[in-house]
Amino acid sequence: MRVGAHISSSGGPQNVFGRAGAIGAEAIQLFISAPQQWRPPNLGDEAVAAFHEEHERMPVPVFFHCVYLVNLGTQDGKLLNRSAGSLKQYLKWAGTLGVEGAIFHVGSHKGAGFEAVRDQICRVMLEVLEAADNDSMLLIENNAGQGNGIGSTFTEIGEIIRGCDSHPRIGVCLDTCHAFAMGYDITEREGCEIAMEEFDREIGFERLRAVHANDSKMPLGGVRDRHENIGDGHMGLDGFRTILAHPAFRDAPLLLEVPGIEGDGPDEENVNRLKRIREEVGAPGPDAS
């Protein structure tokens, strides 16, 4: 079990490794373009070479997070094409840089209903995977249920995966805050067991490739995406002890997306909080995973 974090790629993606090392992160998530813009990633040969060199020096799992504008459930043809194009770019760069995969939010059906947009979502995802024919994975992130969001339940995500013919390069990034806000009480042993039984039945633990480890500013079932530092929200330290003790989480890197103690994003204190819990529950560290 690795404890990692979302790391700023300011100045070039190769810089994430030094920043990750400074806070003790054992896995990395990054943007390779502005997350609120459609501008495609543009990395020169020198940046690619520098990234590979730094990654070889610090061989930890690395994930991209795709731009927030993606919506595969839209009825707007222009937005759908832009979304597909952005995912293709991110997954192609994932192959070029040799990272584990690209994490994305499916989007919103805008009131049309999941059934009305499911086939479209699956068609576009298969197009993206075909266009970016490499070993990197396309990872669906669950959402907190707000705004007619798609993929708020494990059952819905499972339907998408089956609709994509259970493509082997589709995986899942489980966000703890989003699951909790959606009503999955993963902070209590019984609730965690029930939630993860649904996950395994509908998706399969083998597809759990990353975890966004975030506490929640919102209470259970609050249906809002509001991250908090580990132990400072409604999930609490005991909640994360329950989560990290569950065997489903033993092999998936934990990626912090918390506000940080000083408000500057994931930091050493949050990393250390999760590492202490990992030790308390007897979960294996990176050398054993």
Domain coordinates of the chain in residue numbers? 3-280
Spatial separation of the C-alpha atoms in residues 137 and 115, rounded to whole Å: 25
Q: 3-class SS at 29?
A: strand
Residue 285: predicted pLDDT: 87
Q: Are strands 215-216 and 227-228 parallel, antiparallel or unpaired?
A: antiparallel
pTM assigned to the model: 0.95
d(CA 89, CA 16): 20
What confidence score (pLDDT) does residue 8 get? Answer: 97
> What confidence tens digit (pLDDT) does each residue in 8-50 have?
999 999 999 999 999 999 999 999 999 999 998 989 999 999 9
Residue type, 169: R
pLDDT of residue 287: 79
pLDDT tens sequence across 103-158: 999 999 988 888 999 999 999 999 999 999 999 999 999 998 887 899 999 999 99
pLDDT tens figures, 152-187: 999 999 999 999 999 999 999 999 999 999 999 999
Backbone angles phi, psi at 192, to 5 degrees: -65, -40
Can you tell me the distance from the alpha carbon of 30 to that of 21, in angstroms, rounded to the nearest whole number?
14
User: Mean pLDDT over all residues of the chain?
Assistant: 96
pLDDT recorded at residue 288? 60
Report residue 92 as tokens: 């192609």
Query: Among residues of the chain, what percentage have pLDDT more than 70?
Result: 99
CATH dotted code for 3-280: 3.20.20.150
Q: What is the arithmetic mean of pLDDT over 84-109?
A: 96
- List Cβ neighbours of 219 (8 Å cut-off, separation of 6 or more): 234
Reading the block at residue 51, the tokens are 């990234």
Whole-angstrom Cα distance, residue 90 to residue 240? 31
The CA distances from residue 113 to 117, 119, 149, 158, 233, in Å, are 7, 12, 10, 16, 32
Phi, psi of 120 (to 5 degrees): -65, -45
Cα distances from 202 to residues 6, 154, 157, 160, 207, in angstroms, run 28, 6, 8, 10, 11
Q: Are 164 and 110 in contact (CB under 8 A)?
A: no
- In this structure, what token pair is assigned to residue 236? 């609490």
Q: Is the pLDDT of residue 82 over 70?
A: yes
First to last CA, the chain: 6
**3-state class (DSSP) for residue 64:** strand
Tell me the two tokens of residue 38. Answer: 């459609």
pLDDT of residue 289: 46
